[in-house]
């Protein structure tokens, strides 16, 4: 059809085609030009973190060109990575994030399986409720949660406030709803024939889940894991409210509260700490970018 139309158009068509491809080259050039501008905007803070982290305090206070390192040094990294306090923050963050990922998966995979495959009374309402829970922000719940923990602590005598492990119970409220939601999407996209065949062959529900659903939906599972990890790693408000002692802090709170001492800002160390704190999510992102993006877009496209 279209070739016919082009043939008919004859000689005048050629000029038009030429202008179109020239248009396209120019569009590409402009795209690159603006992309470079936006890339500078987007990458300035992380690059500046790196630049500052390589400077000594003397060089920073000398106020030379801030965009260049004249005497690069790894002193900030050595100091932080040998400081027990910083390693403690890192350890707390890692422990919490890994535990939260495991807890999240243990809760959301079975729930998503049930909601995607077993129609039961109230299952549609529950699925919608899960999605709504995802929309409730942490800044709405931190005050009642703080008071709840204080009350429970008073009644049971178990110390909950100012302990890092309490965050392991709180963080799933942020990760489970979204992970369940995207797992429902992934599970629902698996053809019914697959698990029907398994059931006919005499597999139990548990076997269908572990032998069919989890392997087939593995990309979704990885995306959900990455989401749960990055959310727990980046969480700032809950640890700021629930933990105060230095040995109980997680990385983001630890860096903002201990490295900033009064008016003395040791910027070299703060930037090094921030960069090291940003490293785990960045490394995961660098290696698993496609899963990361799949998880990001799944929320809206897997309705």
Partner 1 sequence: MADVVVEQGRLARAARPRKKSASLRHVMGRKSTVAFFLTLPLILLIALLVLYPAFYSLYLATLNKAMTKFVGLSNFTFLFKRETFWMVVKQSCIFAVTAVIFKALIGFIVAHFVHNIPGKKQRKWRGMLLVPWVIPPAMSTLAWLWLFDPSYSAFNYTLSFFGVGPIPWLGDAFWARFSVILVNVWYGAPFFLIMYLAALKSVPDQLYEAASIDGANWWQKIWHITLPMMRNIIAITTLFSLIVTFANFDIVRILTSGGPLDQTHLFATWAFQVGIQSSDIPLGACVSLFMVPILAVAAVFILRDVNKRGNEA
The footprint of partner 1 on residues 78-107 (CB under 8 A) is 106-107
C-alpha span between 1 and 287 (Å, rounded):
45
3-state secondary structure at position 201? coil
Interface residue with partner 1, options 1, 15, 264, 300 (CB under 8 A): 300
Interface residue with partner 1, options 1, 4, 118, 264 (CB under 8 A): 118
48 binds partner 1 (CB under 8 A): yes
Interface residue with partner 1, options 19, 45, 70, 287 (CB under 8 A): 45
Crossing angle for the helix pair 267-287 and 251-258, nearest 10 degrees? 170
Q: Identify which of residues 126 and 214 has a Cβ nearer to partner 1 in the complex.
A: 126
The answer for residues whose C-beta is within 8 angstroms of residue 133's C-beta and 6 or more apart is 173, 177
C-alpha span between 108 and 197 (Å, rounded):
24
| Contact yes or no for 225/105 (Cβ under 8 A) | yes
Q: Identify which of residues 113 and 164 has a Cβ nearer to partner 1 in the complex.
A: 113
> Taking contact as CB under 8 A, which single stretch among the options 70-78, 129-137, 159-167, 211-219 is the one that binds partner 1?
129-137
Q: How many residues bind partner 1 (CB under 8 A)?
A: 102
Q: Identify which of residues 88 and 253 has a Cβ nearer to partner 1 in the complex.
A: 253
264 binds partner 1 (CB under 8 A): no
63 binds partner 1 (CB under 8 A): yes
145 binds partner 1 (CB under 8 A): yes
63 alpha carbon, distance to own chain's centre = 35
Biggest CA-to-CA distance, the chain = 89
């Amino acid at each position: 059809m279209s070739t016919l139309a082009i043939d008919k158009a004859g000689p005048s068509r050629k000029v038009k085609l030429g202008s179109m491809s020239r248009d396209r080259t120019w569009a590409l050039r402009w795209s690159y030009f603006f992309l470079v501008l936006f890339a500078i905007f987007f990458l300035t803070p992380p690059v500046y973190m790196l630049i500052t982290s390589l400077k000594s305090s003397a060089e920073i206070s000398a106020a030379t060109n801030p965009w260049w390192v004249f005497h690069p040094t790894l002193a900030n990294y050595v100091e932080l990575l040998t400081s027990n306090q910083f390693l403690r923050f890192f350890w707390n963050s890692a422990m919490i994030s890994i535990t939260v990922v495991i807890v999240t998966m243990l809760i959301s995979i079975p729930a998503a399986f049930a909601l995607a495959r077993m129609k039961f009374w109230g299952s549609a309402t529950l699925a919608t409720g899960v999605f709504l829970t995802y929309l409730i922000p942490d800044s709405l719940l931190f005050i009642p949660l703080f008071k709840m923990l204080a009350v429970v602590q008073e009644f049971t005598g178990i110390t909950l406030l100012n302990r890092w492990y309490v965050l392991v119970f709180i963080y799933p409220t942020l990760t489970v709803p979204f992970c369940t939601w995207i797992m429902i999407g992934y599970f629902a996209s698996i053809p019914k024939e697959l698990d029907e065949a398994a059931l006919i062959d005499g597999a139990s529900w548990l076997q269908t889940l572990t032998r069919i659903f989890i392997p087939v939906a593995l990309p979704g599972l990885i995306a959900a894991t990455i989401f749960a990890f990055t959310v727990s790693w980046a969480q700032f408000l809950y640890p700021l409210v629930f933990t105060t002692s230095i040995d109980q802090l997680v990385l983001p709170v630890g860096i903002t509260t201990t490295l900033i001492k009064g008016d003395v800002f040791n910027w070299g160390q703060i930037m090094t700490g921030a960069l090291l704190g940003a490293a785990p999510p960045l490394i995961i992102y660098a290696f698993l970018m496609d899963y990361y993006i799949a998880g990001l877009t799944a929320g809206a496209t897997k309705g």
